[in-house]
Structures are given as C-alpha cells and as structure tokens.
Amino acid sequence: MGPLRWVRLAAAASAAMFAISASGADDIVIGQVAPLSGVLADTGKDMVLGAKVYFDYINEQGGVHGKRIRHVVKDDGYKVDETVRLTREVISKDGALALIGFAGTGNVGELLKQKVLEEANIALVAPYTGGEVLRTPFNPYIFHIRAGYADEAEGIVDQLIMLNMKRIGVMYQDDPFGKAGLVGVEAALKKRGLEIVGTGPYEKNTDNVTHAVQEIAKANPQAVVMISVNKSTAAFSKQIRAASTVAQLVNISVVNPKEISRLIGPESARGIGVAQVMPYPYSATVGIVKEYQQAMKKYAPAGTELSYTSFEEFVGAKVLVEGLKRAGPGASREKVIRALETLNPFDTGGFTVRFSPNNRIGSRFVEITVIGKDGRLLR
C-alpha cells in the first residue's frame, strides 16, 4: 500500500470515529422530521412535544437498557423534498436507530418511493397520517398507531347519515393526503348507495380556498367533510358559512381545534366536527391519558395546553420505547423492527395496538368530537 493511500484510509477512519463520537455512541438516537414552520407548524410543534415528554420521562427513569434516548428533530416545513433530504441526514449523519412522528401522506409516500426507509432498514413509528397509500400494499417499515383516513371517513359518514344528512360535499387538499381522504368518503357513501354532491380542492401549503368555497357552495350540500389542515380548514369554514346554508362541517383528525378557534374566532369555529383516532386526552379516565397528563405537567413548558396531537405522539413514543426494550441491549435497526412486530397486542394503558410480521396497522379506533363555544372539544 502506498503512503498516499494509507493517509487517505487513516483520514477516513478518523472521520468515521469522529462521527460516531459526535453522535453519542452511548445514546439511542431517535429521529423526527416534522413541520416546525409553514402551514402545519402548530401541529408539528405538538407532534415533537408529545414524543419529547415521553422520552424525557424514560431518560429520567434511566433510559433503555442503561442508554439515554437522544431525540433529534429536524424541520421540513411540510415540504416533500425537505422531508427526504432531512430523513437521509438523520439516518446517515445522526445515526438514528429508529424514526418517529413524520407528517404528510405525500411526504412519507416520497420516502417509500425513493426507498429511503428500505435502504436504511429502519422503522418509522406513528407517522401523523392516515393515508391508505402508506398502508396498502403492505410496507414493513411503517408502524401505524392511528386509524386510516378510510376508517375516519367511514366514521364521519356514518355519523352524518345518522343525522339524516345525505347530501355530502368534500373539500380537500389537492395532494396524496387530500385525495386519500376523498377516496375514503367516496367509498363510505357508495357503500350506502350515495355519491358526493360536490368537491372543492385547494393547493397544498396555502389557505387560498376561494375556488373550493365556490365549487362546494354551488352543490349546496347539507354537510361538508374537510380533508385539510389547520389554516385551510379555518379559512374554508368561515367562508363557506357565509356563502351557503351548509348545516354541518366535519374535518378529519389532523387539525388542532384550538388553532382553528384562534384563526377564525370561537364563534365561527363552534360546531365544527373533528374525527379523532385517539382516546379523549382531556379527562384522565384511562391509564395512558393520566400518564400523558402527568408527563406534560412535569416536562412540557409551563402553560402548555394538552392536545390530541401531542397525546398521539406520546403514545407513539411509548410504543417505540417498548420496541426498543424488547430489542435488547445494543439493538440494531433490524432488531427494532422485529421487536415491534411482537406487540400483538400491546396495551399502552387503555389504548391497545396490535402489530405482527404481516400487520402494521396498530389501531382502527375512531370517534367524532365537536368544537364547543370556547374552542374546547366536546365528546
């Protein structure tokens, strides 16, 4: 071997050792790429907080097999290309053992398309999306703890039909997320011999919903199912009520009612239905909710409000930690995946998930809540 070749190899080895040292060889690195800026920023911050408070709790108990969890968070701004770039970064540069709580059907879908998870052989637990394209066909790398958008659509349509509302329109984000919800509503109505009376798409990463309002108003529906995020939901809700006589608005679970109330005022938000895929987090009637409330009180910044979003990722973090425990000391990414498959069932404390070698859909729980006069959710 020539001297120059030896120097290059030595430099490469030194750089590799530095990378291992910098990543904290004694830590378990869990990566989270979330929208901390842009139209989904409030949701993203709650997502990160929910996972963080559970990891803080575990670290205070001594970590997992004597190792602390290091929660590495990166902001993708809800932009697909950034999700891909930052996921590659948290895997290769930060050395993540597993991933948690990404947002966006299209964002996560692009990770699958580019085989980012497959190439790293890494698990993504509790993504904040119910997109069916991430569930069918079967994908071994994503562990869903929430019901899918098809499940939510079925629950929403069932509730509306019970209220004798059969003329139903759909306002949706014009991307894989919105289209997944649209397909779910179509299927739920078809099952009952009905069709959507009108649709109104809007562009992702904007709250410009004027066209959607116009299209839906022309159809004059009794109810509108919204497949949208906070700002677009708020804008549409206010505008459609001024433009039509629609009796009921219902959104799928990805919105924050408090944020909607803040954006358009409590009176304008009042009465909007919101589907939920987690137990009610505001009343400690089950063990996991009590555990969440205690952790939020201790580890979240003073004055932080409880939310379905932070609760969901708290549950996701508990599921992931159980997988880490079962994977054993010195676990590899492969061992974490195999360990998560053994959670069949795993009772988190009143909310049960079930995974197996051929199942990654942990729950199909859905219930409908309504925004009350003060912006709070009522069951």
Query: Domain of 316: which CATH number?
Result: 3.40.50.2300
H-helix or E-strand containing 369?
A: strand 367-371
58: in domain: yes
For residue 214, is pLDDT > 70? yes
User: Percent of the chain beyond pLDDT 70?
Assistant: 93
Kindly report, residue by residue over 215-254, the tens digit of the pLDDT: 999 999 999 999 999 999 999 999 999 999 898 999 999 8
Asked whether residue 10 falls in the same domain as residue 137, the answer is yes
Asked whether residue 11 falls in the same domain as residue 139, the answer is yes
Give the confidence band of 17 by pLDDT, cuts at 50, 70, 90: very low
Asked whether residue 178 falls in the same domain as residue 65, the answer is no
**Average pLDDT value for residue range 39-67:** 96
Asked whether residue 27 falls in the same domain as residue 134, the answer is yes
**Average pLDDT value for residue range 318-331:** 97
Give the confidence band of 6 by pLDDT, cuts at 50, 70, 90: very low
End-to-end CA distance of the chain: 73
Asked whether residue 172 falls in the same domain as residue 212, the answer is yes
**How many domains would you assign to the chain?**
2
Kindly report, residue by residue over 164-208, the tens digit of the pLDDT: 999 999 999 999 889 989 999 999 999 999 999 999 999 998 999
Asked whether residue 142 falls in the same domain as residue 202, the answer is no
115: in domain: yes
Asked whether residue 143 falls in the same domain as residue 7, the answer is yes
**Average pLDDT value for residue range 25-44:** 93
pTM of the model: 0.85
Kindly report, residue by residue over 100-131, the tens digit of the pLDDT: 999 999 999 999 999 999 999 999 999 999 98
Q: Residue 360 is encoded by which pair of tokens? A: 């990654």
* DSSP result, 151-210: HHHHHHHHHHHHTT---EEEEEESSHHHHHHHHHHHHHHHTTT---SEEEEE-TT----H
Asked whether residue 345 falls in the same domain as residue 251, the answer is no
Instruction: Identify the pLDDT of residue 14.
Output: 38
Choose one of 222, 253, 276: the last residue of a domain.
Answer: 276
Containing structural domain, residue 209: 149-276
Asked whether residue 191 falls in the same domain as residue 237, the answer is yes
* DSSP result, 287-346: HHHHHHHHHHHHHSPTTPPP-HHHHHHHHHHHHHHHHHHHH-TT--HHHHHHHHTT-SSE
